[in-house]
């Protein structure tokens, strides 16, 4: 099947006179998770991971994949004729270097401008021009061969309302327009779906796990236009939007409206595609900066933080119910990794405000846990039996916030080496959780705090330590990121109100994987003559399994942190539980 699809693409390339076709993992909104219509890279390659770049030439097909997906990619690419190209991180540009090196001068590379970010297009064009290679962006070759390509998603758009949405869209638009004035911009164009959902207090279900909808937005100082499938907005909501100065227009009209602009336009070159910007007249002055909504939505208000704390208590209660069931069932019934997702989602669904999972649950037993983005499928999954470690990474979308948590639990007998690994990862998580840091520090610089206990033992992990998390929005959001692979740019500064995951790990390929993850909220930690400081308030409320710990490896401060954390978990989650779940919580939060 994959070989046939590649053959069709190569035929289209030959007819267009193209030497190479680049297929990024992207849509016109540069989303992380894609609607079915834009899963072109997955359709062509068979690789189901969330990040990769496919390049096809007449002779070679290669998929550039970072270390989180190497094992998965090797399995899914087997027999396709596509070569796995290993890269260190998802942001790597090694595929651009490969094109510049392998495509002869005078030849042409094609990529669809509608799914190519403006910043990425500039980097690609610069590299190819230096080798006298042409870049065509006016071709959607995949569309020519994907005969049964899905259409646009159709789920309805709905309002996110108080008390879970404390700030009105009028207030958010006013703040955005003030930011536009500071930038000297008459207009601002937004394509990123979570920015749009945040700004207009709207939600949808066009993208798996993220409550967003396909749309573009154009904001002026007197008007705002939302480009989307208008059939998804019912009449009462459309009237409410109009009263707030927001008008709707068909999704396909965005380029035509951009073509009519004059004055100055604020855009984020990393969050808008080349294809859309090509419609803007040359006379329009472009102001390039990070979308102001990126900053605004990352800094949760006090009211949002209060809702999120309540959500965390209910999420913790759901997890307690799940783990109580798991421990009662283990060894008595046949359990597989697939059962974990079913049961954990069912437990969350019984909690108030639950909407959906926030990502596909990762449940990996022993060797499967060593793949950070492993996902069990009906065709490939493990039975949970014998001895070992079960890693569960899961989360929920609630009206009052987004959750993301990873826990590792013992199955049967845990070895001394497993307890050592688990405790070292716990030390890493505690080190970051206890950190104090200057307000405004560039977030990638904090990564080493978590890695230090592992580095001291000659150990490390291939993914970042943490990512920003939305408020009933995308489980991955910026601008902050805890990863030394990321550039410490000014926009990554840590500010009060940001919610960030803390998730160090340790992976033994073919044996087991360990990751411990909590979400944490940036809080003021006082001021000194050296400036303002921040600390992390741990939000996640679920016990860390002490049966996996080697207590002698923890110092007094670390043990005190863990005991204090478990005391708070018990105090805040217990009122939402009864019976076996309450007994489980009490047992698992006893002092170490």
Q: Mind listing the domains of the chain with CATH numbers?
A: 2-145 (3.40.350.10), 158-296 (3.40.350.10), 299-588 (3.90.230.10)
pLDDT-derived band at 566, boundaries 50, 70, 90 = very high
Q: What is the pLDDT of residues 480-489, one digit of tens each?
A: 999 998 999 9
DSSP E strand boundaries for 496-591? 499-502, 505-508, 512-515, 518-528, 531-538
3-state DSSP call for residue 476?
Answer: coil
The C-alpha atoms of residue 190 and residue 215 are separated, in whole angstroms, by 9
Residue 197 and residue 203 in contact, taking contact as beta carbons nearer than 8 Å: yes
3-state DSSP call for residue 58?
Answer: coil
How high is the pLDDT of residue 319?
A: 98
How high is the pLDDT of residue 69?
A: 79
Report the range of poorest mean pLDDT among 379-383, 409-413, 429-433: 379-383
Report the range of poorest mean pLDDT among 52-66, 346-360, 454-468: 52-66
**536 alpha-carbon distance from chain centroid:** 20
Residue 478 DSSP label: E
Q: What is the DSSP string of 441-471?
A: -BGGGGHHHHHHHHHTTT---SS-SEEE--S
How high is the pLDDT of residue 526?
A: 96
How high is the pLDDT of residue 88?
A: 74
Would you state the structure tokens that stand for residue 8, as one six-digit string?
Answer: 């069709």
Task: Give the residue ranges of DSSP H helices in 262-359.
Answer: 274-277, 292-298, 302-329, 337-349
Residue 56: name the closest of 119, 90, 94, 102 by CA: 102
pLDDT-derived band at 68, boundaries 50, 70, 90 = confident
Residue 448 and residue 431 in contact, taking contact as beta carbons nearer than 8 Å: no
Helix (H) and strand (E) counts in the chain: 18, 28
Report the range of poorest mean pLDDT among 36-45, 94-103, 313-322, 496-505: 94-103
Containing H/E element for 174?
helix 169-183
- The answer, yes or no, to whether residue 449 has pLDDT greater than 80, is yes
Residue 223 and residue 250 in contact, taking contact as beta carbons nearer than 8 Å: no
Question: Across residues 204-208, what is the average pLDDT?
Answer: 94
Determine the straight-line distance between the first and last CA of the chain, rounded to whole angstroms: 55
Residue 449 and residue 428 in contact, taking contact as beta carbons nearer than 8 Å: no
Question: Across residues 555-580, what is the average pLDDT?
Answer: 98
How high is the pLDDT of residue 67?
A: 76
How high is the pLDDT of residue 90?
A: 54
pLDDT-derived band at 373, boundaries 50, 70, 90 = confident
Residue 567: name the closest of 533, 544, 549 by CA: 544
pLDDT-derived band at 40, boundaries 50, 70, 90 = very high
How high is the pLDDT of residue 379?
A: 83
pLDDT-derived band at 17, boundaries 50, 70, 90 = very high
Question: Across residues 234-251, what is the average pLDDT?
Answer: 97
Q: What is the DSSP string of 77-97?
A: HTTTTPEEEEESSTT--HHHH
The C-alpha atoms of residue 108 and residue 132 are separated, in whole angstroms, by 9
Would you state the structure tokens that stand for residue 11, as one six-digit string?
Answer: 């035929």
- The answer, yes or no, to whether residue 14 has pLDDT greater than 60, is yes
How high is the pLDDT of residue 539?
A: 98
How high is the pLDDT of residue 72?
A: 82
133 phi and psi, to 5 degrees? -110, 135
The C-alpha atoms of residue 364 and residue 341 are separated, in whole angstroms, by 11
Question: Across residues 225-237, what is the average pLDDT?
Answer: 97
Q: Which residue has the higher pLDDT, 283 or 69?
A: 283
How high is the pLDDT of residue 500?
A: 98
The C-alpha atoms of residue 31 and residue 474 are separated, in whole angstroms, by 10
- The answer, yes or no, to whether residue 54 has pLDDT greater than 90, is yes
Q: Quick one: 138 exposed, middle or buried, by C-beta within 10 A (0-12, 13-18, 19+)?
A: exposed
How high is the pLDDT of residue 280?
A: 95
Residue 372 DSSP label: T
How high is the pLDDT of residue 51?
A: 87
| Summary mean pLDDT of the chain | 95
How high is the pLDDT of residue 584?
A: 98
Containing H/E element for 196?
helix 193-200
How high is the pLDDT of residue 89?
A: 64
Residue 188 DSSP label: E
How high is the pLDDT of residue 11?
A: 93
How high is the pLDDT of residue 444?
A: 97
Would you state the structure tokens that stand for residue 513, as one six-digit string?
Answer: 């994987």
Q: What is the pLDDT of residues 145-161, one digit of tens each?
A: 999 999 999 999 999 99
How high is the pLDDT of residue 431?
A: 98
464 phi and psi, to 5 degrees? -70, 165
Would you state the structure tokens that stand for residue 423, as one six-digit string?
Answer: 């405790």
């Amino acid at each position: 099947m994959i070989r046939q699809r590649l053959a069709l693409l190569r035929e289209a390339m030959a007819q267009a006179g193209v030497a190479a076709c680049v297929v990024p993992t992207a849509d016109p909104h540069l989303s992380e998770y894609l609607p079915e219509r834009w899963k072109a890279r997955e359709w062509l390659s068979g690789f189901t991971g969330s990040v990769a770049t496919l390049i096809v030439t007449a002779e070679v097909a290669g998929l550039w994949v970072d270390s989180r997906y190497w094992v998965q990619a090797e399995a899914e690419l087997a027999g396709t004729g596509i070569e796995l190209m290993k890269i260190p991180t998802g942001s790597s540009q090694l595929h651009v270097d490969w094109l510049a090196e392998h495509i002869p001068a005078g030849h042409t590379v094609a990529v669809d401008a509608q799914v190519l970010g403006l910043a990425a297009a500039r980097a690609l064009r610069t590299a190819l021009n230096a080798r006298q290679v042409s870049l065509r962006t006016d071709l959607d070759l995949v569309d020519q061969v994907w005969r049964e390509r899905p259409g646009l998603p159709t789920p309805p758009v709905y309002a996110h309302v108080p008390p879970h949405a404390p700030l009105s869209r009028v207030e958010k638009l006013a703040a955005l327009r003030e930011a536009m004035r500071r930038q000297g911009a008459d207009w601002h164009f937004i394509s990123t779906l979570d920015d749009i959902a945040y700004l207009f207090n709207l939600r949808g279900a066009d993208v798996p796990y993220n409550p967003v909808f396909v749309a573009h937005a154009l904001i002026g100082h007197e008007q705002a236009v939302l480009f989307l499938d208008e059939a998804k907005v019912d009449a009462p909501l459309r009237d409410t939007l109009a009263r707030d100065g927001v008008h709707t227009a068909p999704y396909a009209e965005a380029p035509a409206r951009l073509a009519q602009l004059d004055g100055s336009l604020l855009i984020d070159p990393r969050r808008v595609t080349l294809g859309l910007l090509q419609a803007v007249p040359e006379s329009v002055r472009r102001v390039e900066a990070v979308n102001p909504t990126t900053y605004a939505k990352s800094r949760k208000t006090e009211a949002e933080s209060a809702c999120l704390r309540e959500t965390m208590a209910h999420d913790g209660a759901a997890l307690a119910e799940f783990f109580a069931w798991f421990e009662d069932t283990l060894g008595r019934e046949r359990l597989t990794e697939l059962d974990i997702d079913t049961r954990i989602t069912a437990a969350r669904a019984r909690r108030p405000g639950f909407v959906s999972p926030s990502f596909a649950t990762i449940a990996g037993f022993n060797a499967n846990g060593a793949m950070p983005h492993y996902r069990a499928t009906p065709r490939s999954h493990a039975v949970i039996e014998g001895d070992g470690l079960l890693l569960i990474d899961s989360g929920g979308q609630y009206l009052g916030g987004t959750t993301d948590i990873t826990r590792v639990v013992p199955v049967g007998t845990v070895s001394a080496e497993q307890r050592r690994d688990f405790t070292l990862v716990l030390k890493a998580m505690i080190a970051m959780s206890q950190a104090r840091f200057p307000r405004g520090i560039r977030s990638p610089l904090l990564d080493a705090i978590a890695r230090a206990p592992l580095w001291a033992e000659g150990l490390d992990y291939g993914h970042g330590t943490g990512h920003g998390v939305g408020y009933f929005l995308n489980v991955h959001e910026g601008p902050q990121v805890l990863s030394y692979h990321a550039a410490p740019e000014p926009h990554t500064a840590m500010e009060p109100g940001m919610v960030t995951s803390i998730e160090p790990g340790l992976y033994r390929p073919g044996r087991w994987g360990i990751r411990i993850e909590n979400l944490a909220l940036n809080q003021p930690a006082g001021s000194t003559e050296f400036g303002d400081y921040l600390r992390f308030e741990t939000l996640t409320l679920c016990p860390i399994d002490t049966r996996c710990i080697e207590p002698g490896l923890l110092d007094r401060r670390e043990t005190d942190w863990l005991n204090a954390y478990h005391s708070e978990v018990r105090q805040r989650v217990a009122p939402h539980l009864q019976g076996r779940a309450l007994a489980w919580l009490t047992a698992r939060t006893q002092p170490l």
